[in-house]
Structure 1
Amino acid sequence: MNLVVNGDAESGPGGTAEPVQDVTGWRIVQGGPALISYSHGGGYPTAADPGPADRGSRFFSGGNSPRTALLQDVALPERGATGRRAVDRGAVRYTLAGWLGGWAGQEDGVRLSVEFRDAKGVPVALSVLGPVTAAERLSRTALVARTASATVPPGARSARVLLVFTRSGGTSNDGYADGISLTLDAATATGRGPK
């Protein structure tokens, strides 16, 4: 189960390239993001550009701000195969995943991170994905899959998911993201989650 709310940009206001004031499930901490439709045109990613095969109708962008940041604090499960006891035994693995990209040959990009925190809110581990460079996109408008998996650190009780869009040039912040997810799996005896 994806612990991230609205990781696909499908909920709430948006659909155009205009920045929004609220993003369902996320807190805007800097700038003004836009939730843009894949059918918008105007050089933005379309359903024909590289990206998620199962994409919905919209994706995140950095809007017009030089830097835009969205965050989401997620409580980890208290019980069950991925609950606190399993976490403290080192028996839970996480996977952070997202489709990250940008426009043509520009270096505007987005970074996705998860910071695990203990019961007092002290960071205990960090994992960062992106940004995807223009070279990695072959100078195409595209979103590229990025993932990271590891053991949830013992003592972790929450996770802070952060999307940071950075503009390198032009007037639009053309860092793009879609399909953001954080999932947990019970680790097997070999330390790997189920396949």
Structure 2
Amino acid sequence: MIKHTLALAFMALSLGAQAQATLGTNLIINGDAESGVAGWTGFDGYSMFQSVDYGSNWVLPTQPGPANRGSKMFTGLAAQAAGFQTIALGALAGQSLHYDLSGYLGGWAAQGDNALLYVSFLDTLGNEIGSASIGPVTPADRNNQTGLFLRTASGVLPVGTTSLQFSLSMERMGGGDNDGYADSLSFVVSSVPEGSTLAYALAGLSLLGGLAARRRA
């Protein structure tokens, strides 16, 4: 897998956030690839991913994917492709916030090419104080079927989070093309009901523990 924490090496580049966050809206700019790669910035030393049309070269409109998929999706170019974007929480910083992260990720047939969406929770100095991620979707997860499949994660933003960095990466594991696929990427924040913060935090710790166990396995 790509070292998805590569985002941390470029924090200084990303602190000029693109927009201010609002509750109940998707904070990922152009998460559906319909505007090409607008809103995304490439990492030094890595190829940028690309926006392509659904069709015979990638994923057919009839193959698994978002119900309202539009006409385009993201896929890789070189063997490793990655890009990022950052958003400031602005007036929301300091509030207790719940997040819902989701996206459709996938690949081609039995090849291991894959995509991962990683979110860094940053403090005022640009230090990562927490993270969330979805993916990768393996060939076994897809039953060797070409397409994109929904993945989700949720939790509470760590205290002290002032901005978010979204890093999307694809890796080629076989074949000539980088067939890591992504579409309909979303990150939405909402206010945490009073008294619910501890319950959300415990649920998040349980989820992270399960993910760690799966990685060790």
Q: Normalized against structure 1, the TM-score is what?
A: 0.84
* Rounded Cα–Cα distance in structure 1 between residues aligned with 2:48 and 2:153: 27
| Partner in structure 2 of residue 34 of structure 1 | 50
* Rounded Cα–Cα distance in structure 1 between residues aligned with 2:68 and 2:76: 22
Residue among 128, 144, 149 paired with 2:133? 128
Mark the runs of 5 or more structure 2 residues left unpaired by the alignment: 1-24, 201-217
SS in 2 for 1:128: strand
| Partner in structure 2 of residue 187 of structure 1 | 192
Alpha-carbon deviation of 1:153? 0.6
What percentage of aligned pairs have identical amino acids? 39
Q: Which piece of structure 1 moves more, 112-121 or 68-77?
A: 68-77
User: 1:100-122: CA deviations, max 9, x gaps?
Assistant: 00000100001111000001101
Residue among 76, 79, 96 paired with 1:62? 76
| Partner in structure 1 of residue 33 of structure 2 | 9
* Rounded Cα–Cα distance in structure 2 between residues aligned with 1:186 and 1:6: 24
Q: Normalized against structure 2, the TM-score is what?
A: 0.76
Q: Which amino acid aligns with 1:66?
A: A
Q: Which amino acid aligns with 2:56?
A: G
The answer to which structure has the higher strand fraction is 1
Mark the runs of 5 or more structure 1 residues left unpaired by the alignment: 13-22
* Rounded Cα–Cα distance in structure 1 between residues aligned with 2:35 and 2:144: 30
Alpha-carbon deviation of 1:2? 0.5
* Rounded Cα–Cα distance in structure 1 between residues aligned with 2:171 and 2:193: 38
* Rounded Cα–Cα distance in structure 2 between residues aligned with 1:171 and 1:74: 34
* 1:72 maps to 2:88: no
Alpha-carbon deviation of 1:77? 3.5
Residue among 49, 53, 62 paired with 1:48? 62
* Rounded Cα–Cα distance in structure 2 between residues aligned with 1:85 and 1:10: 33
> After TM superposition, where is structure 1 displaced by more than 3 Å over at least 4 residues in a row?
none
Residue among 91, 94, 108 paired with 1:85? 94
* Rounded Cα–Cα distance in structure 1 between residues aligned with 2:93 and 2:42: 29
The answer to which structure has the higher helix fraction is 2
Alpha-carbon deviation of 1:34? 2.1
